[in-house]
Amino acid sequence: MGFLTNLINGISLGSVYAIIALGYTMVYGIAKMLNFAHGDVIMVGGYICFCCMQYLGLPPIVGILLAVVGCTCLGVVIERLAYKPLREAPSLAVLITAIGMSYFLQNSALLIWKSDPKVFPSVVSLPNITLFGGQLVVSPISIVTVLACVVVMVCLTLFTQRTKMGKAMRACSEDKAAAQLMGIDVNATISMVFAIGSGLAAIAGVLLCSAYPVLMPTTGSMPGIKAFTAAVFGGIGSIPGAALGGILLGVIEIFARAYIGTQLADAIVFAVLIVVLLVRPAGLLGKEMHEKV
Amino acid sequence: MSMLEVHDLHVYYGSIHAVKGVSFNVEAGEIVTLIGANGAGKSTTLNTVSGILRPRTGTIEFEGESLVGVPAHKMVSRGIALCPEGRRVFGNLTVRENLEMGAFTRPDDEARETRREVYERFPRLKERRNQLAATLSGGEQQMLAMGRALMSKPKLLMLDEPSMGLAPILVQEIFDIIKALNEDGTTVLLVEQNASKALAIADRGYVLEVGRVSKEGTGKDLLHDDDVRKAYLGG
C-alpha cells in the first residue's frame, strides 16, 4: 500500500508540475524564450488566493478565480513591459530580463507580504478518503489536482487543435512572418499565450499551496525550475510532452524521496533529466528540428 | 488611378541600401512582373509593399490609400495577399488548417465557400487535405501556398518566386495557374527569376538591377529586348 500511496502522491505532485510546465512550453513554443519568471507567477497566484480567503473571507472558489484573473493580467503586463520591447533582441538579453523579472516579483512579494511563511488554508475542505480498511489514505486535494490537470490538458488540446485562435497560435509558433501574412496579429497571439500560461500558473499555485501549505515569496521558485525541467524532459514546445514530463518528474521525485532519501530526491530528478537528454536530446515527445530546404 | 502605385521607394537593411528609388504601378486586372538577378531588390520590394519591411522614404498607395506604416497583418483585410518566397507553409498544420489560416480574418462560412473553390482549382490539395503540410512535395507545397493566399480572396495577389526549385513540368503548371487566376479577375504582381516564363504571361514588366528599375515595358517588348535577352534570357 505504501507503493500505491506514493504513486498517487507522485501523480498529484506531477500534475502540478504539468500545469506549470504547460506555461513554460507554450511560451517557449511561440516566443522562443524561457520565461523564468513563470514560477514566481505561481507564488503571486498563491498569495492572491490566500489574501482573498484569509483577509477578505471569500469562499475558496472566488479566491481561485481572482487569482486566475490577477495572474492572467500580471502575465500579460510582464510580457508587454519586459519582453515585448526585446522581441528582436538577442536571446541572452531576454533570458537575463526573465531572471530579473523573477527576482523583481520575489522581492515585490517580500515587500508586500513580508518574509514570514503563511499557512495556506486548503481550498478543498473534504475529509481524507480511506480505502482498504485504512491502509490507503488519499487526500482529496490529490484527486482534485489530478482532475484539474486532466481538465486543463483536454481543454488546451481542444483549444489548439479545434479553434481558429488555437490554430493561429500553432501557426505563429512555426513561422511568425508567414502568420502575419495570413492576417494573424502575432503580438496579440503572444499576449494570449502569456495570459493562458499565467492563468494556469495561478491554478497550479493554489493547488500546490493546498497540498504543501507553506506560502513564502520563494515558494514558486523551486516548483518553477522543476516544471521547467519537466517541460524539457517531455520535449519543450510540446503540450502532451509537458504533461508527460510533469507527471513522470513528480512520480520520480516522490519515489526517490520515499525509497532513496529526501536529501537525494532533487539530485535524482535532475540526474534522470540528464540521462534522458543524452539519449533523446529533444526530450521524450519533442521533435528533432530538421531544416527543410 | 492605379490599383497599386509605388513611388520612389527606398528600403534599407541596417546600413545596406537594398532598394534605391523603385517606382512602378499595377493596374486592376493586370499581371505585372518584377524580374532581375539575385539581390536586385525584387523580394525586398514585395516585402515592403506587404508591410513586413518598412521603407525609409517613398510612397506606396493601394486603391488611393497609403500602405506605409500599415502592419503586415492588416494587409489581407485590405485585399492584398503575399505568397512568400520559399512557400512558408505551416508544416505542422494540415493542408486544410493551412487554408483555414489563409482565411483567418474572414467569417467561417465564407471561408468554407472559398476553400471549396481552392480545392476545385487544386484537386491535389483536396486529396491531401488531412495530411501535414510538411509531408507534401515541393510542387504541392507551392500550390498550398498559393491556395492559402487565395483564401483571403485578394484583389491583389503578390507571388514571390513561385517557380523556385520546381521541376520544369511543374513550373509550367504554376504559370498556367497564375494565368488562369488572372483571367478569373485577380490582379497579380509576380516576382520571378524565370524571366522568360514570367514575361510570357505578364501584361507589363519591370527589370530591376541593384535596387533600381533599369527598364520597363510590356511583357512582349521586354521578352524581345536585346539587353534583357542577353542578361536574363540567356542570349
Task: List chain A domain ranges.
Answer: 2-279
* Interface contact flag, A174 B90, Cβ < 8 Å: yes
Predicted local distance difference test score (pLDDT) of residue A292: 42
CATH code of the domain in which B89 resides = 3.40.50.300
A152, pLDDT greater than 90: yes
* Interface contact flag, A181 B97, Cβ < 8 Å: no
By Cβ distance, the residue of B77, B93, B97 closest to A183 is B77
pLDDT digits (tens, 9 = 90+) for B177-205: 999 999 999 999 999 989 999 999 999 99
Q: Do A209 and A49 touch, CB atoms closer than 8 A?
A: yes
* Mutate which: A182, A285, A288, vs B, most B CBs within 10 A: A182
By Cβ distance, the residue of B75, B91, B101 closest to A168 is B101
> How large a percentage of chain A has pLDDT more than 70?
98
* Interface contact flag, B72 A177, Cβ < 8 Å: yes
Q: Do A82 and A41 touch, CB atoms closer than 8 A?
A: no
Predicted local distance difference test score (pLDDT) of residue B235: 58
* Interface contact flag, B90 A175, Cβ < 8 Å: yes
β-pairing verdict for B156-160 and B80-83: parallel
**What mean pLDDT do residues A149-153 have?**
96
Predicted local distance difference test score (pLDDT) of residue A288: 61
A112, pLDDT greater than 50: yes
**Is the CB of A159 inside 8 Å of chain B's CB atoms?**
no
CA atoms within 13 Å, Cβ hemisphere of B91: 15
d(CA A75, CA A72): 5
Q: Which fold has domain A2-279?
A: ABC transporter involved in vitamin B12 uptake, BtuC (1.10.3470)
Q: Which residue of A has its CA nearest to B107?
A: A164
CA A78 from centre of chain: 16
* Interface contact flag, A171 B72, Cβ < 8 Å: no
Predicted local distance difference test score (pLDDT) of residue A133: 74
DSSP per position, chain B: --SEEEEEEEEEETTEEEEEEEEEEE-TT-EEEEEE-TTSSHHHHHHHHTTSS--SEEEEEETTEE-TT--GGGHHHHTEEEE-TT----TTSBHHHHHHHHTTTS-HHHHHHHHHHHHHH-HHHHHTTTSBGGGS-HHHHHHHHHHHHHTT--SEEEEESTTTT--HHHHHHHHHHHHHHHHTT-EEEEEES-HHHHHHH-SEEEEEETTEEEEEEEHHHHHH-HHHHHHHS--
Q: Give this prediction's pTM.
A: 0.91
Predicted local distance difference test score (pLDDT) of residue A293: 40
d(CA A234, CA A248): 9
Across the A/B interface, how many CB contacts are shorter than 8 Å?
A: 71
* Residue B22: partners with Cβ closer than 8 Å, 6 or more residues away: B6, B8, B9, B41, B45, B58, B208, B211, B212, B213
d(CA A223, CA A220): 6
Dihedral sign from CA coordinates of A33, A39, A44, A50: positive
Interhelix angle A91-113/A38-54, rounded to 10 degrees, is 20
**Is the CB of A52 inside 8 Å of chain B's CB atoms?**
no
Smallest Cα distance from A238 to chain B, Å? 12
A46, pLDDT greater than 90: yes
Q: Which residue, A249, A250, A215, is CA-closest to A234?
A: A249
* Interface contact flag, B148 A171, Cβ < 8 Å: no
Domain holding B181, by residue range, is 4-232
Q: Kindly report which listed range (A100-104, A138-142, A248-252, B2-6) carries the lowest average pLDDT score.
A: A138-142
Q: ipTM exceeding 0.95?
A: no
Residues B192-196: contacts with CB under 8 Å, at least 24 apart: B192/B33, B192/B34, B192/B35, B192/B161, B192/B162, B192/B163, B193/B35, B193/B37, B193/B38, B193/B161, B193/B164, B194/B163, B195/B35, B195/B228, B195/B232, B195/B233, B196/B223, B196/B232, B196/B233
Q: Kindly report which listed range (A45-59, A113-127, A175-189, A210-224) carries the lowest average pLDDT score.
A: A113-127
The set of cell numbers assigned to B5 is: 502605385
Predicted local distance difference test score (pLDDT) of residue A139: 87
d(CA B177, CA B183): 10
pLDDT digits (tens, 9 = 90+) for A259-275: 998 888 889 988 988 89
**What mean pLDDT do residues A164-188 have?**
96
A289, pLDDT greater than 60: no
By Cβ distance, the residue of A168, A174, A179 closest to B92 is A174
Neighbouring-strand partners of residue B132: B94
Which segments of chain B have a pLDDT < 50?
A: none
Of residues B113 and A288, more confidence is placed in B113
Predicted local distance difference test score (pLDDT) of residue A291: 44
One-letter amino acid for residue A164 of the chain: K
Domain count, chain B: 1
Predicted local distance difference test score (pLDDT) of residue A237: 87
* Interface contact flag, A182 B76, Cβ < 8 Å: yes
pLDDT digits (tens, 9 = 90+) for A179-192: 999 999 999 999 99
Smallest Cα distance from B120 to chain A, Å? 21
Predicted local distance difference test score (pLDDT) of residue A282: 87
* Interface contact flag, B76 A183, Cβ < 8 Å: yes
d(CA B41, CA A141): 62
d(CA B71, CA B69): 6
